[in-house]
Structure 1
């Protein structure tokens, strides 16, 4: 079973810690560098 399969079947649910807009990418990078991330950081386009 692949990770894709696990996500599609609901056995694994990615946690999105924070979402940034495309023009906030520098802030998103700083957020990652601070190492306070508890999940995934997403960029909305």
Structure 2
């Protein structure tokens, strides 16, 4: 819901109008983030 103090303008409209900050953006997901730690633990328990 736009037009509130938290979100005064629609983000897509603000970006299209050129009112977005010119900063690098990192887009991604962390859906499988913990998989790496599980694999490392398994490999450590299995030994060399």
Does the TM-score normalized on the shorter chain lie above 0.5?
no
Which one has the largest radius of gyration?
Answer: 2
Q: Point out the structure with the larger strand share.
A: 1
What TM-score do the two structures reach when normalised by structure 2? 0.29
Q: Say which structure, 1 or 2, has more relative contact order (CA 8 Å, 6+ apart).
A: 1
What TM-score do the two structures reach when normalised by structure 1? 0.30
